[in-house]
Amino acid sequence: MPTHFFEKAHNFSINNSQIVDNSQIINNNIGISGLDVLLGASIPEAAHDSSARYPPPRCHPGTRQDYISKITQWSLDQDGRENHVLWMKGPAGVGKSAVAQSCAEDLGDKLGAAFFFSRLNSRDDPDCFFTSIAYQLATKIASYGDILDHKLRRNPTLVNKSIGQQFEGLIAAPFKEMKSRGLDLGEFVVIVDGLDECDTEVAQRDIVETVTASAQDRTTPLIWVFLSRPEPHIVGIFTYPHISNYSTHLELPVSRDIDNEIALYLTDELRKVQKAHDLPQSWPSERDIWVLVDLSAGLFIYAATIIRFIEEVDSLGPEDQLHAVLDLAAQTKKVTSTYPLSELDLFYTLIMARVPSKTLLTTLKILYLTTLPNSLTNACKNANVLRLTEAQFRYACRSLHSVLKLEAPDASVDMRITYYHASFMDFLRDPSRSGKFCLSGACATSVHYEILERLNELHENARSLNLVQHELPPIPLSLTWDGDLEPRGLYICIIEAFFSICQTVPLEDKMLKALVDFDYAMILCLWGPPPLFSARQLSREAFMKNVPRNYHKKIFRPCKGVSLHQKPRFAEHDRPYVLGHGQNKALWWRYGTGSVIGPYQRLRGGAVFKLLCRKLKAIIA
């Protein structure tokens, strides 16, 4: 539940406006446009032409033309098309995103919007999906944009509605008003790639059902193209009669029929490498090309990863890199698995094996932090959580440029870790595939204890400070990678990472005992004012499920006499839980799918209680 109107918005200011908290705005002279509100609630990085995705995966000239033509011709065939929703399914690595990108570019002016979901790259928030589509449409269609801007000036809370209400208010309603004015601009195509990477299966279903219902009733002039993996629940969604009867289905399978296309791609890309490094024209040989084609096994992602691996800057050169890949060919002959990515797994293993043994654990820790719900893909934050300098961070990532890139659009402090393909992280999460390189075993446990030790050390140092004298308590943290990140921001990252791991990694007795004695109240002392910590990624259900039952009452328990406590105005109305014991106690309230940690107000004595009492007025509902 949002704590204020513009919870998802950023980088703007409001002047000369009167805002009242009853979902209405008395707007006499507002200083922000409705489209600015919409942009703040969107993910511009998910667009087909965003700098965050540059260079985007696109089909190599002369490849996948049959699928690109099928989709674009279907999209533009207004008279022959039977419905207005198309779904193309295909397993990981076959090139769905490249097909989607090429279609988006080929459609030109008929493209209304495109959204490329990516869980690893933090483009997976379903609440920002229709807002992003609406913003792109508004920049494309002037009359639509004017209507939507006016609607959002009157009611900017439209961006905080449910998925269905967002679609109705931000997309369907403006088109309805355009129609009533006699404005008919024809049809526009919306491309949605990676639906399976949208957060939660429920949201995926809601998006498809909302779009299909609209397409059936023609409430908008939009044509929708979805691309996804054939996950069972998505297959189930598109086989519902009320969905399947109003949608067209295509499949992009793993097939050796495209070996010639992969050979064309490899030949052209390696020719660029040959010229750039002034290698003999005979490099690589035709035999080498076809060995690489055989290794790719019908997967364009394999071929693309091979090229990035051979181009690796921190290596002994393209010839040595190619030799390493060719050596892998002998190992693939021993692979008998029917799993379609088994050959790619061997290649990922080769990449990880080239990480220096002295830095391997550090490298795995960096990768692991990007998998947490709070997704530490910001390089500066990731490094500071692990107490790494910028140089140490870069060195730990230097062998991974074939599977990820470090992007800094403005400055090194804005650098982000971006993965080329989700299959790499799928590999690292599965111990049966990645073995000693798996992130879910010793690596996760090591990070958990490292963060716990740092928090305990930080809290102990904080006790020596006179916190009551400070309006905003100082955070006794030093940065290892200087930048825009401040100690308070780093503290948030550390706490969120700690709680995220608590609900995802099996907890050993040592960690469970540490959770019993953990100083939850100190979080509030350091965070205030007000003494409330919003732990959006901490799911009460997931945390409780991960803690053995014999430790439940030792770590958390239902709060008795809840009427004696002040409830934060945005917390849920159900009974809170008590975290910790003695002066370390705090109240644990439900906050949507996350949590909010507040003061246990019956606690008496000490700096903690004095500070919390002084801040009490700020959290009264």
CB atoms within 10 A of CB 354: 16
Please give the distance of CA 354 from its chain centroid, rounded to a whole number: 27
How large is the greatest C-alpha to C-alpha distance in the chain, in angstroms? 81
Please give the distance of CA 253 from its chain centroid, rounded to a whole number: 26
Q: What average pLDDT does this structure show over 187-199?
A: 97
Residue bearing tokens 């906050």: 591
pLDDT at residue 20 above 70? no
**What CA–CA distance (Å, rounded) separates 319 from 322?**
5
Q: What average pLDDT does this structure show over 268-286?
A: 95
Report the pLDDT value the prediction gives residue 545, as an integer from 0 to 100: 92
CB atoms within 10 A of CB 164: 14
Tokens standing for 17?
A: 């406006």
Tokens standing for 298?
A: 């019908």
Residues 6+ apart with CB under 8 A from 106: 68, 72
Q: What is the pLDDT of residues 558-610, one digit of tens each?
A: 887 655 456 777 777 778 899 998 889 998 888 877 888 888 865 444 444 45
The reported pTM is 0.74
Residue bearing tokens 């006699």: 182
Report the pLDDT value the prediction gives residue 408, as an integer from 0 to 100: 72
pLDDT at residue 296 above 90? no
Report the pLDDT value the prediction gives residue 332, as an integer from 0 to 100: 65
| More confident: 272 or 24 | 272
- CA within 13 Å, CB half, 620: 6
**What CA–CA distance (Å, rounded) separates 453 from 576?**
27
**What CA–CA distance (Å, rounded) separates 553 from 412?**
45
Q: What average pLDDT does this structure show over 443-451?
A: 93
Nearest to 247 by CA among 114, 115, 89, 124: 89
pLDDT at residue 614 above 70? no
Q: Of all residues in the chain, what percent carry a pLDDT higher than 90? A: 61
Kindly state the DSSP code that residue 123 receives in the 8-state scheme: B
Residue bearing tokens 């958390």: 556
CB atoms within 10 A of CB 109: 8
Residue 230's Cβ-count burial label (10 Å; 0-12, 13-18, 19+) is middle
Residues 6+ apart with CB under 8 A from 578: 556, 557, 558, 559, 585, 586, 587, 588, 600
C-alpha separations of 506 from 426, 578, 593 in Å = 19, 22, 21
Q: What average pLDDT does this structure show over 56-62?
A: 94
Tokens standing for 138?
A: 């508004």
Report the pLDDT value the prediction gives residue 107, as an integer from 0 to 100: 97
b/e for 454-487, b at 16 or more Cβ within 10 A?
Answer: bbeebbeebeebebeeeeebebbbebbbebebeb
pLDDT at residue 509 above 80? yes
C-alpha separations of 162 from 7, 22, 145, 168, 207 in Å = 14, 17, 21, 10, 11
**What CA–CA distance (Å, rounded) separates 47 from 519?**
43
The answer to whether 103 and 137 are in contact (CB under 8 A) is: no
Q: What is the pLDDT of residues 378-387, one digit of tens each?
A: 999 999 999 9
C-alpha separations of 62 from 59, 69, 130 in Å = 8, 12, 33
CA angle 567, 571, 572 (to 5 degrees): 105
Tokens standing for 393?
A: 């961070």
Please give the distance of CA 514 from its chain centroid, rounded to a whole number: 30
Q: What is the pLDDT of residues 460-471, one digit of tens each?
A: 888 877 655 556
Give me the torsion for CA of 35, 118, 193, 538, rounded to 10°: -80
Residues 6+ apart with CB under 8 A from 571: 589, 590, 591, 596, 598
Mean pLDDT, the chain, as a whole number?
86
CB atoms within 10 A of CB 221: 17
Task: Quote the crossing angle between the two packed helices 300-310 and 318-332, to the nearest 10°.
Answer: 140
Query: Which amino acid makes up residue 321?
Result: Q
Residues 6+ apart with CB under 8 A from 511: 448, 449, 452
Tell whether omega for the bond before 232 is within 30 degrees of 0, i.e. cis: no
Nearest to 136 by CA among 7, 46, 5, 12: 46
Helix (H, G, I), strand (E, B) or coil at 614: helix
Lowest average pLDDT, out of 122-126, 171-175, 523-527, goes to 523-527
Residue 188 banded pLDDT, cuts 50, 70, 90: very high
pLDDT at residue 30 above 70? no
Residue bearing tokens 């609607």: 151
**What CA–CA distance (Å, rounded) separates 526 from 608?**
10
Which residues face 24 on adjacent strands?
A: 20
Residue 49's Cβ-count burial label (10 Å; 0-12, 13-18, 19+) is middle
Residue 434 banded pLDDT, cuts 50, 70, 90: very high
| More confident: 409 or 337 | 409
Tokens standing for 18?
A: 């009167």
Q: What average pLDDT does this structure show over 305-324?
A: 90
- Pairing label, strands 594-599, 222-228: unpaired
Tokens standing for 152?
A: 């959002």
**What CA–CA distance (Å, rounded) separates 357 from 364?**
11
pLDDT at residue 282 above 70? yes
Q: What is the DSSP string of 457-499?
A: HHHHHHHTS-GGG-SS-------SS-SS--HHHHHHHHHHHHH
The answer to whether 439 and 367 are in contact (CB under 8 A) is: yes
Lowest average pLDDT, out of 46-50, 143-147, 360-364, 496-500, goes to 496-500
Q: What average pLDDT does this structure show over 72-88?
A: 94
Nearest to 303 by CA among 287, 291, 319: 291
| More confident: 27 or 457 | 457
Q: What is the pLDDT of residues 205-235, one digit of tens each?
A: 999 999 999 999 999 999 999 999 999 999 9
Report the pLDDT value the prediction gives residue 144, as an integer from 0 to 100: 97
The answer to whether 394 and 406 are in contact (CB under 8 A) is: yes
pLDDT at residue 250 above 50? yes
Tokens standing for 60?
A: 């190599």
| CA-atom Rg of the chain in angstroms | 27
